Every structure is written in structure tokens, then in C-alpha cells.
Amino acid sequence: DQPCFGHRSDFGSAAVWNTYNQTRGDILTFGSALRSILPSRATVGLYGRNLPEWVYSQLACGYYGLITVPLYDTLGEEALHHILNQTEISLVVCDTFERAESILKQGSKYMSHLVVIKMDEADRKKLMKKAKDSVAIFTFAEMLVRGLGKEKDVPEPNPDDLFLVCYTSGSTGLPKGVMYTHRTFLKAVSVTARLYEFAEISVVGNVHVSFLPLAHIFEQLAMAACLLYGSQIAFLTTDFTRLLDDYAHYRPTVLALVPRVLSRMYAVVMEKVNASKMKARLFERAMKSKLEEQKRGIFKQCGILDSLCFRPIRNRVGGRVRVIVCASAPLQPEVFQFTKSAFSCPVIEAYGSTESGGLITMTLPTDVTGGHAGSIALDMKIKLIDVPSMGLTVKRDGIGESSWMGIPRRATSMARDIVRQGPVALSMAIVHPSYCLQCIAPFPNPPLDSPLTVLDLCTNLPARACNAELPTPPQIIGERNCGSYNHCTTSTRFLQLTMVMMMMMANGICVISPANTPGYYKESEKTKELFDEDGFIRMGDIGRWTACGTLQIVDRCKNIFKLSQGEYVAPEKVEQVYALSPLVLNVYVDGNSLYSHTVAVVVPNFEKLQKQFPEFFDELLKENNGIGSDSKKLFAEACRKKKLAKLILNELNKLGAEKGLKGFEQANCKASDAEIFRRPDPGTV
């Protein structure tokens, strides 16, 4: 009888909650209705924004042996047509008339039924006219009536039966359908659910606001983990633009976010903080104090500095956040540290992919550095491989002086001797609880038959976070007996030296996860390309091991481009920096080998521009008397002016220099447009 799904019709009304019992009843009823019109193993498309009915539909399909295929707007017409036909979707559940109309427009020969969550009689007639009797049309409520009192027994699924086909965005060519069986999806959920235990927060009484697209695996797993622990799940009242209003109403305890959301929050807050030198000094002092406490595992929300600097930020999202999980792209270190300070709770940055079953690495709750994707999660394996097209090579037979980063020559010589003897076989590292799991750097290419497991000898649990920063390769592998800790044996020194091999070298990332996809749907050739000869998934990312053994993501292989002078640029890194500017709502960086510089496409923050460049807008109003107070026309006209582009570009280059961007990484040309990034989904172009 605990609340499960909550939704409100408008911002002035209270949320209506369905209990877990009611939810299960609706799932069984809807699933029985589906099975009355569809055969077993039929495919069902889900197309719409996050709603309780969306989740009912997917769970009902899972109960009754049907396969779900999430669809989303940013696929485009060609990709949508491709998916409908490749998966032979028999029935599509849509949230609105507009999306239902878009589905019918594709003219799929396989589709026989269409279910619309919200539709009036006039809309039904329009859809029936377009369908021409080839597609039966129902409302969601009608399907519930159809299945009411006729609930069918739930068959036990085969663990290796297909459960979900999750299409990737298709950065090159048409999107590919990543397959999840019942087994792999449950394993992915179990890994995600460990985050509660890992962050040491209560699994009772949690609230999650679902707004990231359920068509993406990150939100799928976040929601499934919440359901596993009996959490409350709320949905947005309208769209992403009013997210903070929904946060204030539902008061979530768990936030599943992407970097763009946190970067936007950081930019807004820091603009206000930096308006006063005294505020800036006070805020900096408060952040430093918070981070020092969190290194020691202390997360408290009290004190004068906390009340002055951070409580107002927490209150904007309800004031009850216990843990924040951020994924989908690297998070800037300053944004990471700001978020940890402001919310005074574990902030876990995770790395993974749709193909790997979600989470592969994650930062520790007590990590305050940021700028990396954390340590390898349990039961995962990672290796770095050559990327010849980018000149990146993993040296397996030796190590150069430049790779040691200041390690004494004698130590370098000893390490070379070990490397020549082959990989060091290490099946377990016993560590003192006061040392950090992050400080144990796995071998760049560990022996497959000897995975590195890091345990505390006394508790037999994963190693805890360290109490202090440990510079350079730490001495952490040894034995602990009766309270005495020996961490400086000759063999220990050898092991730690071999582990810091290749720290600063970037290479292609490959992973093995218990939740690895079996492959792409009906794409045998692309499935072969996905896996290497050892069964590792090629992630398509470039990464490196940091000095403390965490994985740092440089960028997507396909995103990185070469400029005319031969320099490689990772555009996402530049975008993350430019997104910190209060003048920027969204930004996209690109370039190619014909030019020596990058180009930034920017959607500016109109209100901030007017405040920062009043003279420009005064001149613009004089030139265009007819515009008057029409802000949309004024903004559109401003975006056409090269002078505004130059003003914004100067600000971005100044910010980039402060954040350490190299000259060739900086944009030298900029276009601004109010309509390029219209969609509210963070990170979409």
C-alpha cells in the first residue's frame, strides 16, 4: 500500500499517487488486454514523455512475454521508419494525438494496433481516417476495461528471452537496437541498485522524479532500481523547463541527472556569488570546509556557512536530497565540487553505455576531486586498446621514461625488469581500511584469468575511501595482521610501479560486464564489430587511467576530430567548459581537418545578454523601431548580428583560457541561434 507513481495535472493541484498494489493491478490488467490481441513475443513500441502509463506498458510487456521498443522524438522520420519495420512492431503506445499521428504517417505494414494515453473523440476520428481500417485504435483507459476481470496468469519467462530493444541515438548512420534479455536487464538493475548501499543511504522512503527520457537506459535503470526498493516515483507536470517547480513540490531524495543540468545550476549560482567579492570569499571558504569534511566521510547539513551558502540551493530542489547520480557525459571538476558542497551528500559520477548494461565505473562518495569517472564497479573488467586511426598505442612490452611522471630512475629500472617478465599475476589486493579504493590502479591490461579484487582483510568488504589525499603512486598493497599494516615490502613496491604504467596515455576503452548486451537486433555484422576477440565490448570512447587508478574519459572516438595543423580536439571537453558561462543556454562545438580552429554553435541566454551588453541592445532597438517590446523578435534579430557573436565569442574564449583550454581548442568562429536547440532534453542537439 506504499505510494508508487505520482503525477499532477497542473501546477496548482496536488499530486495523485497510485499505491504499489494499484500499480500491480493496472499492470496485470493492461498486460492481459495486450495478450488478448497480440501473440507471445510480439513487439510493442512505447512513444511519449515519461508518464505512469509508459511504465505500466513496459512492465506489462515484461510480465506477459512481449518485447518493448522505446521510441523518441529526436530519432527523426527516417530512423523512426527504420525501427518500426526492423522490429516489426505490432502495437504502439503513444501519449498524445500528435505522436500517434506521427506513427501512422510511417505506414508500417506490421503495425495493427495503436493505443493513445490521452485522446478525445475528435482526435480519434482523425486517427481512424488516417488509419483507413488497417490499424485498430484504443485509448489506454479502454485497454484497461478490456482486460479488467480477465487477468491472465503470468508465465515464467525464460531468462534468455528478449525483454527490451533499446535503440542508440545513431551518431553515424541509422540507430542500432541494443538487445536486453530478462537476465541481462536484471543484472544491470542489480548493479545500479548497489548505488544505495555504496552511497550508504537508507533504501526506505526515497523519492525519485523521473524526467530523463525513459527511451534511454540510464533512466530505465534508475527507475527500476527505485521500484526494487519500494521508492516513490513522480513525473513532471509539463516539461523539463519547470523541473525546479516539480522538485520543490515532490521533494526528491534521489537525483538522477546529466552534466548539463548541474552545469546550468552551477552557472546560475556562481553568477550571483561572483557579483560580490565578499560573497565569493564566503562561498569559497564554505566549499573548502565542506570538501574537507567529505574527504573524511562526513556529510552534514548544518552550521552558519551551510545555512548562508548552501541551504537556499538545496531548498530549490526540495531540501531532502540524499544522493546524486550523474551520467551520460563527463562532469567538470568545479561543477562536481560545487554539487557536493551545495547538497552535502554523496555525488556519484558514473560511466557506462547502453551496450554495457549501464554502469561500469563510479566515483566514491568521499571523492572530492572530480574530473574522472571513478573506479571499476564490482564484477566488471576494463582494458585499454590501440586506436591506430588516432595514433594511440598501448605498449605491452616495455615502458618509456616519459610514462613514469617523476618516479625515480632506479624504480623505473626495477619496473622494467618486472614488465619484461610478463604481467604480474594478482588475484586479490588486501588493503588497510584507511586507504582508498580509487588509489589502487588496475593494470592497464590485466590478465583475464586474474581479475583484480580489492578487499579489506578484516571485513571482507570492498575497500573504503581514504581519509587523506595520497599524491603519486601510493603504497597500498600489503598485508594486515593484528592491527599492524605492512605496506612497504619490496614486492609491494614492484606491484604499485607496474600499476602506474601508462597512466597518462589515452586509449580506446573496452569492457566486460555481467549485463553486456548479446548484440544488436538483426545486425549480425555490427554485433561482430562491437566485440573484440576476448569478448570485450568496444565502448567507442577514449580514456586513460589517472594517477590514483580511476578512469578518465577523454571523449567519444567518433566525436574527436583533427584540425588542419594535426591537433586532435575532443569537442565535449570544450562544450563542458563553455556551458559554464551564464551567457550560454546550450552549446555545440565542431570542426574538421580543413580548418585550424573549431566552431561553436551557441544558444545564448537572452536575459543575461541584455544585462551584460546593454549598449548593443540599445543600438539594436534604435535600428529596429518596429520591434518594440517583442522579445522574441528582438532576440532573433540580435542573433543575426556579427557583433553579438563576437561579444559572446570573446567571453567564451576568456572563460576557456581560465579553464585551461589550449589555443587550438578554442572556438574562433561562432554562430548563435534561438531555434537550434529547441528541445528541453538536456544534451540533445
Res. 467: pLDDT tops 80: no
Whether 14 and 140 share a structural domain: yes
C-alpha cell at 310: 548552501
CA distance 480 to 495: 17
Largest CA distance in the chain: 84
Q: What is the CATH number of the domain that holds 640?
A: 3.30.300
Look at residue 199 in the predicted model and tell me its pLDDT.
77
> How far is C-alpha 644 from the geometric centre of its chain's CA atoms?
33
Tell me, yes or no, whether 172 lies in a domain.
no
Tell me, yes or no, whether 319 lies in a domain.
no
Whether 392 and 473 share a structural domain: yes
Res. 432: pLDDT tops 90: no
**Residues 274 and 280 sit within 8 Å (Cβ to Cβ):** yes
Tell me, yes or no, whether 353 lies in a domain.
no
Whether 626 and 539 share a structural domain: no
Mean pLDDT over the full length of the chain: 80
Tell me, yes or no, whether 123 lies in a domain.
yes
Look at residue 94 in the predicted model and tell me its pLDDT.
97
Give the range among 162-166, 328-332, 403-407 with minimum mean pLDDT: 403-407
Expressed as residue numbers, the domain containing 119 is 10-156
CA distances from 276 to 156, 272, 281, 654 (A): 63, 8, 9, 20
Whether 494 and 633 share a structural domain: no
Tell me, yes or no, whether 30 lies in a domain.
yes
Whether 606 and 538 share a structural domain: no
Whether 383 and 511 share a structural domain: yes
More confident residue, 418 or 282: 282
Whether 546 and 565 share a structural domain: no
Tell me, yes or no, whether 151 lies in a domain.
yes
C-alpha cell at 2: 506504499
Whether 626 and 666 share a structural domain: yes
Whether 508 and 640 share a structural domain: no
**Residues 366 and 294 sit within 8 Å (Cβ to Cβ):** yes
CA distance 273 to 334: 14
Query: Which residues, 6 or more positions from 488, have their beta carbon under 8 angstroms from its beta carbon?
Result: 475, 478
Res. 500: pLDDT tops 80: no
606-653 per-position pLDDT tens digit: 888 888 999 888 888 888 775 666 677 788 888 888 888 889 999 999
Query: Which residues, 6 or more positions from 428, have their beta carbon under 8 angstroms from its beta carbon?
Result: 452, 453, 454, 455
Most confident of 58-67, 147-156, 383-392, 399-408: 58-67
pTM, 2 dp:
0.76
Whether 533 and 385 share a structural domain: yes
Res. 311: pLDDT tops 90: yes
**Residues 370 and 332 sit within 8 Å (Cβ to Cβ):** yes
Whether 53 and 74 share a structural domain: yes
The number of domains in the chain is 3
Q: Which of 112, 141, 156 is the last residue of a domain?
A: 156
Q: What is the CATH number of the domain that holds 137?
A: 3.40.50.980
**Mean pLDDT over residues 359-383, rounded?**
89
Whether 512 and 605 share a structural domain: no
CA distance 625 to 629: 10
